Every structure is written in structure tokens, then in C-alpha cells.
Structure 1
Amino acid sequence: MTAFLTKEHLYTLQSVTAPVLAPNGQEAVFVRTLINQEDNKYYAHLFHVELASEEVTQWTFGKERVSGAKWSPDGKQVAFLSNRDEKNQLYILKRNGGEAKKVADFPYGVSSFVWSPCGQKLWVTASLKDGTAFTDAVEKEDKKLPEAYVVDRMKHKMDGVGGNGLRKQGMSTHVAEVTLDGTITQFTEGNHDYALNAVSHDGKKLIIAVNRSENQDFEFRQPLYIVDVATKAETVLVEQDGYYGGAAYSFDDRYIAYVGSDATFKNATHTNVYVYDTETGQTSNLTESLDAPVGDYAVADFQQGAAAPAVVWTETNALYFQVSTMGDIRLYYATLEGELYPATPESEHVYGYAVAKSGNEVIVAVSNPTFPGELFTHNIATGERKQLTHFNDAYLAETTLSAAEPIVFKGAKDWDVHGWIMKPANYVEGEKYPLIVEVHGGPHTLYANTFFHEMQLLAAQGYGVLYINPRGSHGYSQAFVDAVRNDYGGGDFEDIMLATDYALANYDWIDTQRLGLTGGSYGGFMTNWAVGHTNRFKAAVTQRSISNWISFFGVSDIGYYFTDWQIGGDMSDIEKLWHHSPLKYAKNVETPLLILHSEKDFRCPIEQAEQFYITLKTMGKEVGFVRFPDCDHNLSRTGTPNLRIQRLEQIVGWFEKYI
């Protein structure tokens, strides 16, 4: 007899991510993450798998989080990052066994690294206090008196950095090389933030990202340079507004592939794959004909550390990369001659991958709405798959999950809009059930064919769940993703309501009088907007939301530019910002509303919640407010585990009370 999913199953489910193939193509390492309920922490360990025998072995243990594993060029060692000593440091583990060895002590830890092709050293990216060296000792902060923070730029805080959200002053990120015996040599100079993308196979060139502009408040670019290791001479690879990165050299070092999106549609611009020919100096856009974004833009709440390479070369100078398309995250294949086609099937989320040099076999990390995710080998030619890991098999065998049925309906302007509907897990033919409508954040992300613990929990509690990708969502055309900009609360709101109409018209098991609504970030904005513009929902839960674009402009870490990008106005057009602010319509709210917000959310600061709560409360509205300490904007995904559980309790409890 099977049981239904519970909120506590967050402690049972195991996240399997980040496969990396060995140079011999016969084995791989990956990361398994689980939540330790007693310690209230996430632990991520390195595992090894033999592809032929499917034998899985745990390689690291203890109270740590491992990430970024990479095989040495000869396949005899694996380097990885671990926070076992608090800071993220670089470790090396020999293939034939033994203890992992810390390579060196970097003062503020290591953020990323790449092996040198010689196998005798590694290139790292790490933070450094201006005017100091990597070998200098770090003063213990607990011995220092508090100091005033002199703000000298608009980009002075950032969500997710911890503490009070302020960026460290007098710090820069640099590239250095470190030998296996721990000798560190700094490579980059100045008070600039550098990021290392790749090393050429002959070891003579690096691809480094850096913006050396003195004032970067309105700089939204990080140029890529090809740097000669011997002379440090730089050649511009790309230098324009937008995001460009993930660069990788072809095996013959002639070509450099990278991904990027220009600033045509600000942060709504589709990402493409570009290839630079070092012999001709010409750059081509391999995915120009593909009206969908390259990369994984799926939003969910389960996978931890689901890192995947931006692009991967084969020995034949073909490329693999992820594409978000029609609710799927698929692996795509492209050649320099212009071939372009999907390499994995529909109706799934490929959230990690590793490609054999031949390009014929890949390891994929795959999830779908009723499958949390495992590793598989996948034959590109035949499509044949073999499951390599089985961490969640026992859980799936004893748990009833709800399938997600795809739907397509006509939204605003008669555009096709895509989504899913889930029946309650305890569904009985002929019975009526309440329906919860979920709205994702972003807005330039997408709901996907992936496992979503929150959706399954609501279904297990006896609710139907409707979730769609309204205009503004990624994974569809450039026109579709751009359509929400300058129209918040317009066509996007219409899409949500037309989705609700479609569900009520086509699924007679829905109780039309028992509808709920919830969403976070942009989804929180939409929840706030909806309750001020319709009374169709019996209850709503708004999370990490925006209520007032006027104050958001100045308090969010991205407010001063994101507001203009998305709403099309700034503080010189107060009326426009106020028109799109849910707070303006507070007097219309009749739906019981629960407000959930993290204390250390600097993306959508908690004052957004406070304004809405106090305003609604003074008006005598039915409203609740729950604050979560020490968590940032990502509470639902990576927040403190017990607080994630409490968040789910609050959501379920509110709907139980009012629906």
C-alpha cells in the first residue's frame, strides 16, 4: 500500500546532479545532496559510478557540501570544492583511493577552477582583499569592531550574500594558478572582478571575463577576452551589453563556443550559442534560427546544485547544449555546418549532462513531474537509455504521486499558452475538488516537465493544481517572452484568468467555488495584483512579492534598473509605477490573503510585504503575515530546511482554513 507525499519528504528525497565523465569515458562522478533533519543542513557528497557495471560508490563523507568536480587530464585524480573547513576550498582525491587533500588555503575560499592540460596545476578564481596577496593571513572578523559602510555605488548590495546583504568592500575576484603542492601564483591584477571561463588544450590561452569600467552602476556586461598565458596579451572575444559566458575550446583549439544574450530585450532576450573561429576571426550564431532560449530556465524547488555546462564540444567539432522549449529542457546537438536538432526526447527536464568525446553517448540527469531525478546513459543514435542511479527508487515505489497533464489554451490576444493540470492524489471519479493556481517567478523563467515538491504536496492534500507559462515565460518565442515587459498586470493577468476559465470548462471535477491562488516573486506580484482585480479566488498566498514599484525602485538590489526594464518607467514617471503597483488597488481586495516573506530578501525586500500587510490591515481586510528569519529570496528552493517545512505548513494551513 502506497502513501501520499508529505512536506517531511524533503528529508527523504535525494537530489542527484552534476555528472562528469572521466577521460576514459568508462566512469563518472556526480553529486548526491540530501537534507539532514537533525543538523537542519544540506549535505552534498561526491559519488562515483562505473558505467558498464553500474556500480555506485560514495567517495566523500562528513558534514560538507561538495561541488564543481572535475577529472584531471589523465583521469587519475578528481578535484572538487568543499566547505568542510567552512570556506569553499579546493581538494584533490586520487582515483585509486585515499583521503582528499586540500590543495592550498585561499584566504576567502575558491569560487571556481579549471585543470591545466598539463595536469600539474589548476587555474582558480578566488576573492582577494585589495592590496593583499593570496598567501596573506586573514584577520578574524570576530575580533574587529563594527565599521561604517560607506556607500559609493548603486550596486552595493545583493540578495544571497548573507548578513545584511551588503557587498564586501575593498574586495576583488582574481584568477590564479596553483600547483599540486600548493604554490599559488596570482595571474590577474588590479581592483577588478575576473572570472575564468576556459583554458585552451595546449595550455597557452585562457578565456577570462572582466569589466574594468570604473563606475559599473549602469554597466550590464562582462566582456570576454582571450589571454595569452605567457605574455598576458589580450584579444577581445566579445564586448557588448548583455550576458556572455560559458566559453569552451574545441579539441583542436581552433574554435571557441560560448553562450550569450544581447541587450535588445534587456533580461528577456533569448540566449544563443556563438562560435568564434580563431583563424578567421569570424563569429557565427549557431542557434539564430531557433526561436527559443539556450540554457535551463526551469523553476522548481527540489534539485540542489544542478550545475550543467553551457556548451560541450565533441572531437568532431559538434556541440551539445540545453534548450528550454515548450515546457521541456532538452539537450540539443549542433554542427558548424548548421545542423541543429534535439538529442533527447520531449516531456522531461534534462538538468545535467556529460558528453563522451565521440558525441555518441551522454550521461543525462533527468526529471519529470513524477520522477525526482536520476542519472542515465543515453545513446544519441538509438535513443536507448540505461538508468545508472537509483537513490529515489524505494521512495517512488511506496508513494502515490499525481501526474501532470499538459494543456494548451488561448490566452490574451488569442495566443497559445501552455501549462499543466494535476488531479488530487486521492482523486475519485465523480467527486469535486478545490483547485490551486500557481504562478512562477521571474517572470523570465518557466514551469517545466520536472519534479516540483510543492505541487505534489498540494495534490497530496486533496487539491487540484493548475500551473501555466503566461506571456513573459521563457521557453517560447522571443515575442512571447518579451510581451510582459511594460504590461505587468495586463496580458499576463489575462493569461492566468483564461487558464482558470479553461480548467473550469474542461475539468468537471473542479469545484468552481473553491479556487486558490499562490506564487512567489513575480508570481507574488501577480497574486497581489489578482486579488486587487478579481474576487474569484476564495484564498490566496503571496510570497516574496512586489506590492509597490515606487519603493521597490530604491530598496531592491536590482530595483533601479529592473523597474525600468520591466515596467518601462522610473522615478520620473511616478504615475506609471503606481499604476502597476498592487498596493494602489488594496481597497478592492476581498480575498483572504496570507503574506510570506523572508527577512533577508534583498531582491524583493520585506518592506514590500510590510506595506501591503499594514495597508490591508488598516482597511479591515482578512490578511495574515509570516516572516522567515535569516532567509533570502530563495527560501522555497534553498532556504533553511525547517523554515522550508514551516513555509509549506503555512500555505497548506491557509488554504485549509479558507477553501
Structure 2
Amino acid sequence: MTAKQTVQQEDLFKLKSVTNPVLAPDSSEAVFVVTQIDKEENIYHAHLHHLDVNTGNSTQWTYGKERVSQPKWSPDGSQLAFLSTRDDKNQLYVMHSTGGEARKLTDYQNGVGSFLWSPCGTKIWLTSTVIDGKTFTDKEEKDEKKQPEALRVTTMKYKADGAGFVKNDRHSQIGCLDLESEEITAFTEDPFHHSLQAVSHCGKKLVIGVNRAENNDFDFRQPLVLVDVETKEETVLVDEQGYFGGAAFSRDDRYIAYGGSDRTFENATHSALYVYDCENKTTLNLTEALDAPVGDAVVADHQQGPNPPEAVWTEGNYLYFQVTTMGDVRLYFADLDGSLYPASPESEHVYDYDVAKNGQFALAAISDPVNPGELYRLDIATGERKALTSFNETYVADTILVKPDTIQLEGAGGFDIHGWLMKPANYKEGSKYPLVVNIHGGPHAMYGNSFFHEMQVLAAQGWGVLYVNPRGSHGYSQAFVDAVRGDYGGGDYQDIMDALDDVLEQQDWIDKDRLGVTGGSYGGFMTNWIVGHTDRFKAAVTQRSISNWISFFGVSDIGYYFSDWQIKADMTDVDTLWKHSPLKYAEHVKTPLLILHSENDLRCPIEQAEQLYITLKSMHKETEFVRFPEADHNLSRTGKPNLRITRLNELTGWFEKYL
């Protein structure tokens, strides 16, 4: 019998991400997407698989060096459409459900963003970015000798992390593609971004999202409108500051469900599930009594491209949707009379799903801390479940995976602090081990009961791992998630340190003289803050961090409003911005600090790392700086595979050196 192996950095190449389950109209079969990293090519492959729901037999349907996404069955189940990058840009393909080669339907300059079947099954609605005044099929003229051109900037939202500079002469438009002729008819042409939300079952109505403000620098709306396909007459469903989307028609087309959050607490506001009654023209907040956010707020590093629906309607006008709560993401049920209850168990992460039309079962992609994720059939009435895939079964069987223990303590201000503690993979009773505190980003996100490769890597090195959800994290009360705003480095810092003190008191295996701390984004900010306010940590690694709120205001793609929302200060109050800036406290840093940052990060631009590094060096502090080319803010989750491995090696190497 072969001995089990500890988790390694390069296990990223062994793991498979199972996502995008979509049931056929008769619910007897389904398709889903499996993503794996190609080590030699240094790229991600995502392929379409077919599943017999009753037998659990699955078959791979697509191959090659491509990424497939957004699979959708035709209304009669005879065809399947999906997006694929097999020719570089995401283009639309259709194949027969009985098999055969997929037919490429589009060859647009900027690819296809999203699509929905028309109920007739002969047309497909889709979105693509189109140059103003051009058509879907027009292509930009290429001049091989073209000289570099200056970029004129007239708005504040002129760049976006992961996308680069935003060109203001092109917008996302909606068109209708005829499958037989392959000709597309433009449905929208105005110079605004349009999102395709839903098509009614009768085929006569669309729900689209569009903000027609001439300048949206301080406008954070995506109004949802119900549009008559023939007359283009519009009925507004929602038009207020906030984020709304994911619309879906009920089976009888009377109701439209959608998710979203207003700006009562800016971007800390809980998301809710709303239902619009097309007959009475009234809107109901179905989750108003639920003090937890609708959707999935878990942060992890394994699942690739999950695309769960905002809500799924079943017969009888019942709804199913995700709720983030107490470290879990659970499937919930609701009806229009106010009933609301969970439809999946605790202690797991339902990260993607679909529900049969009759509501008898769900097809769910589920993970937990020692399960990278598989598809399961969940019987709604009995709660029974059946595993339908086993893509990571061999990996789990052959690998030492550490199951974390849940911790909970009373924090400052009466808030309960919730988190997890992992023992080292090689733990032996009576021995002492270092501990690494790992802090999530956001801050309005959540560590959860989900597989996290990075955590397992740290435990495999022989260290304990503590990760908690301090105030500001999602998954708890509205008061809890809002409590961090205007108090960065206050109660949130106290929550983390209180949790650390609690486990040090309770666990005698932790060597209190060998503590490390790390985190990314907001977690990077907090790592910087911690080393400037205490010297109890022997090593720290800050990733994609914020060090200076004054410069962040002007250089981040979201800085000019995020600073106001989160720090509650702008450039008219630089004293407050500086008060909350870790750079201010650089002279107090005694902890050896490794700085990891992506060069193309526009969310927390690399100048934040540069300022911190040069300042610490000028003060003769112990620090090093690692820059990652061709990487943005999401390096640790979706970055180039070789750089993800390098990042993990740098992280573990620094702690190995100092712990």
C-alpha cells in the first residue's frame, strides 16, 4: 500500500474543478464543465461533460486547448449551446445532444459575452461588445504598421482590473441570432452597456440591464427593465443605486425573480432576493427577514468559473437560491407566501447548482475543507444525496488533507467571531508547532467550509493555520459586515488578535514564539497593519496589499469611491486616510516582511507595494519584494499556473526561513 502524500504546491496540476451543472429540460440528463491546468502549456483547459442523472455515468464531450463556459440546453433538449475559446475569443457553438461535432455560429471581433435560447429553439439572444456605429459582424481594420496612440481620458471609471483600459467607443449590445441563416439582428444600438438577463417562456419579453446615464463616475446602478420584443416598450423593474441582476421568469411568466443590494451600507449591504409581479406591478423582498446575504461570498483558490444562477424557479412558483451564512453556502427554498428555509445541510459550500423543474431534486456542485468538489444529486424532500462524479476521488484518497476545527469566541462589542484552526499535517501529540494566521480579502467576503489549496499547503509544511472571519466579513449579520467601515485597523484587528489569543490559550501545541501572518488585498492591508502595531509575529507575507490610502484614492480602479465607502474619507480629509494607512506606521515594523504583488494589478496597484518596500528598506527593515509580471489582482486564483506555484513557493519559503 502506497503511503499518503502531503499536499504540495504543484497539486494544482492534479486537482480538477467541477462546475456549471445544467439540467436538461426533462431533468434526466445534464452537462457540466471540468477545468484542469495543463502544466506543459501553462494554461487552463475547461471541457464539457455529459451526465446521465439516474445512472451517474458521465462522458467528456469536448477536448482540445479550449475553455468552455455557459452551457445551455435548447428548450426541447435536442441541442446544446456553449461558449468556447478554441479560436481565441469566446465564440458561440451549438451541438446536437446525441453527439457530433459542434457548429461554430459566431466569429465576432470581441467574441460573445453571454447568451440565452429563444423558446422557439431556432434563435439565440446574445451579447457582444460592438464599436459604436458598427454592427456585430464588423471587424476593426488592422494596420501592421500602426503607431502607438495617446489615450484621452475624460471619465473616472477608465480602467478595470483584469481588463485594462476601458475604451469608451464600444459597448455591450444585444442581438438575436438565427440558427439556420446564422444572421444576427441588432436589438440594442444606443451607446450604453446592455446586459441580457432573461427571456420569457412565451418569447415575447426580455429583461435587460442598462444604465443610460451619460456619466456614471458616481452612478452605481444597473436598472433592470422588462422589454416587449416587438414594440420595445419598457417597464422598469428596479432603478436605484446598487447592484441588481440575475433575473429569471417564473414558469408561468407572471413573476420575475432577481437578486441585488441597494447602497444603504454601500458595498457592505446584504444582497436580497426580489420578486416582481408582472400583473400587479409590485415588488416583494423574499429574504427581508433573513439577516444573511443571498449568493456566494466564499473566498478560496480552487473552483474555476462557477456560474450559479441567482435563483431557479420550479413548478408551483417556488424558488431555490444560495445563501451565505456562518461559514456555509447553502441552498435555500422560498415561496411567494413567505416560507423560507434551507434545503441543503450545514458545514459545506454549495458553489454551483441547478434544480429540476418539478423541484424534486437539485444537481449541486459541493465542496468542504477536505473535498475539492464534486457533483451530487440532492433529494429535496428527504435530504438524501448521491455522488454523481468522482474527478478528485483518487487525489483525496492518496493525499493527507487536514480537516479544520471550528472555533468561536466573543469579540469586542458583543460580536461573535467565527473561524477555523488547522493542525499541521504531521501533527503528533506533545510536539510544538508554528502557527500561520491567514487573513482573507474583501473585506466583505468570507472564509468558509470549502476546499482551500493554500491552507492545505501551509498545513503540509508542518504549521498550524488559523483563519477567521473578523467584522466586515459576509455570512453574518448586517451589523457585523458593516462594522468595519470607517474602522479599518480597529475592531477588525482586535477580532483577529483575540482569535489568536484564544487559540494560544486553548491549544498547547502552538509555539507562541513562532507565529506568522499573511493575507491578500484587504488581508494584505491587515498584514501591513499588524506588523506596524505588534512585534509578536516572527514573519509576515503581504500580498496584493494596500499600504497608503492617500495614493490608493487616485491609482486604484475603484479607489475614488472605495476609500469613501470604506474609510469614510476622501481627498478632502487626508488626515483620516493617512491615519488608516499602514505606511504611516512603517517605522514601528520589526517583523521580517515579504511583499508579493502583481505588476498588472489595477485594484491594488503595485505602487502600493513599491512605497512600502522602499520605505521599509530606507529604514533598514528586513524586507524583500517579489513582482509578478503578466498578473493582475486575481493571481492566486486564476493567474498563470507557473506564477501561482511561484507565489506559493515564495510564501512557504519565507515562513520556512523565519519560523
Q: TM-score range by the shorter chain?
A: over 0.9
User: SS at the partner of 1:447?
Assistant: coil
Counterpart of 1:377, as a letter, is R
> Match for residue 250 of structure 2?
250
> Match for residue 167 of structure 2?
168
CA deviation string 1:265-294 (max 9, x = no partner): 000000000001111111110000000000
The yes-or-no answer on 1:26 pairing with 2:28 is yes
The yes-or-no answer on 1:448 pairing with 2:453 is no
CA deviation string 1:155-185 (max 9, x = no partner): 0000011xxx211231110000001131110
The yes-or-no answer on 1:78 pairing with 2:77 is no
Q: How many angstroms does 1:143 deviate by?
A: 5.0
Contact 1:241-1:262 at 8 Å conserved across structures: yes
CA distance in 1, matches of 2:224, 2:144: 38
CA distance in 1, matches of 2:578, 2:136: 49
Structure 1 segments of 4+ aligned residues over 2 angstroms from their partners? 137-145
User: Normalised by the size of structure 1, how large is the TM-score?
Assistant: 0.99
CA distance in 2, matches of 1:104, 1:588: 58
> Match for residue 325 of structure 1?
325
> Match for residue 594 of structure 1?
594
Q: How many angstroms does 1:325 deviate by?
A: 0.1
Note closer, same or farther for the CA distance 1:80–1:450 as it changes in structure 2 (3 Å cut).
same
Contact 2:108-2:139 at 8 Å conserved across structures: no
Note closer, same or farther for the CA distance 1:330–1:142 as it changes in structure 2 (3 Å cut).
farther
User: SS at the partner of 2:90?
Assistant: strand
Note closer, same or farther for the CA distance 1:532–1:120 as it changes in structure 2 (3 Å cut).
same
Counterpart of 2:67, as a letter, is R
> Match for residue 363 of structure 1?
363
CA deviation string 1:103-125 (max 9, x = no partner): 12222100100000000000001
> Match for residue 645 of structure 1?
645
Q: How many angstroms does 1:336 deviate by?
A: 0.2
Q: How many angstroms does 1:592 deviate by?
A: 0.3
The yes-or-no answer on 1:37 pairing with 2:39 is yes
Contact 2:570-2:577 at 8 Å conserved across structures: yes
Q: How many angstroms does 1:189 deviate by?
A: 1.7
Spell out the pairing of 1:238-637 with structure 2 (5 A cutoff): 238-637=238-637
Counterpart of 1:566, as a letter, is Q
Q: How many angstroms does 1:460 deviate by?
A: 0.5
CA deviation string 1:603-624 (max 9, x = no partner): 0000000000000000000001
Counterpart of 2:19, as a letter, is T
CA deviation string 1:427-447 (max 9, x = no partner): 001111000000000000000
For structure 1, the residue ranges without an aligned partner over 5 or more in a row are none
Q: How many angstroms does 1:260 deviate by?
A: 1.0
CA distance in 1, matches of 2:536, 2:578: 24
CA distance in 2, matches of 1:494, 1:293: 24
Contact 2:66-2:86 at 8 Å conserved across structures: yes
Select the residue among 34, 54, 57 that pairs with 1:55. Answer: 57
Q: How many angstroms does 1:24 deviate by?
A: 1.1
Contact 1:334-1:340 at 8 Å conserved across structures: yes
CA distance in 2, matches of 1:404, 1:325: 18
- What is the RMSD computed on CA atoms of the aligned residues? 0.7
CA deviation string 1:109-144 (max 9, x = no partner): 001000000000000011001111112233236553
Q: How many angstroms does 1:412 deviate by?
A: 1.8
Contact 2:120-2:203 at 8 Å conserved across structures: yes
Contact 1:447-1:468 at 8 Å conserved across structures: yes
CA distance in 2, matches of 1:412, 1:142: 62
CA distance in 1, matches of 2:286, 2:220: 24
Select the residue among 6, 16, 19 that pairs with 1:4. Answer: 6
Counterpart of 2:229, as a letter, is V
User: SS at the partner of 2:85?
Assistant: strand
Contact 1:318-1:335 at 8 Å conserved across structures: yes
Q: How many angstroms does 1:94 deviate by?
A: 0.7
Counterpart of 2:193, as a letter, is D
CA distance in 1, matches of 2:351, 2:574: 41
Contact 2:128-2:173 at 8 Å conserved across structures: yes
Counterpart of 2:176, as a letter, is E
Counterpart of 1:360, as a letter, is Q
CA distance in 1, matches of 2:460, 2:589: 29
User: SS at the partner of 2:259?
Assistant: strand
Contact 2:257-2:275 at 8 Å conserved across structures: yes
CA deviation string 1:487-539 (max 9, x = no partner): 00000000010010011011111011000000000000000000000011000
CA distance in 1, matches of 2:107, 2:44: 23
Contact 2:8-2:457 at 8 Å conserved across structures: yes
User: SS at the partner of 1:257?
Assistant: strand
Counterpart of 2:302, as a letter, is F
Contact 1:375-1:388 at 8 Å conserved across structures: yes
Counterpart of 1:255, as a letter, is Y
CA deviation string 1:69-111 (max 9, x = no partner): 0000010111000011011000001111110111122221001
Note closer, same or farther for the CA distance 1:155–1:52 as it changes in structure 2 (3 Å cut).
same
User: Normalised by the size of structure 2, how large is the TM-score?
Assistant: 0.99
Counterpart of 1:436, as a letter, is V
CA distance in 2, matches of 1:98, 1:497: 58
CA deviation string 1:355-401 (max 9, x = no partner): 00011100010000000000000001111111000011111111011
Q: How many angstroms does 1:409 deviate by?
A: 0.7
Counterpart of 1:638, as a letter, is T
> Match for residue 214 of structure 2?
214
CA distance in 2, matches of 1:393, 1:589: 45
CA deviation string 1:211-257 (max 9, x = no partner): 00001100001100000000011110100000010000000000000
CA distance in 2, matches of 1:286, 1:112: 27
The yes-or-no answer on 1:179 pairing with 2:181 is no
User: SS at the partner of 1:652?
Assistant: helix
CA distance in 2, matches of 1:605, 1:656: 28
The yes-or-no answer on 1:132 pairing with 2:134 is yes
Q: How many angstroms does 1:146 deviate by?
A: 1.6
Counterpart of 1:317, as a letter, is N
Contact 1:20-1:69 at 8 Å conserved across structures: yes
Count of paired positions: 656
CA distance in 1, matches of 2:144, 2:188: 30
Note closer, same or farther for the CA distance 1:407–1:100 as it changes in structure 2 (3 Å cut).
same
User: SS at the partner of 1:87?
Assistant: coil
CA distance in 2, matches of 1:514, 1:209: 52
Contact 2:198-2:248 at 8 Å conserved across structures: yes
Contact 1:207-1:224 at 8 Å conserved across structures: yes
The yes-or-no answer on 1:112 pairing with 2:111 is no
Contact 1:104-1:183 at 8 Å conserved across structures: no
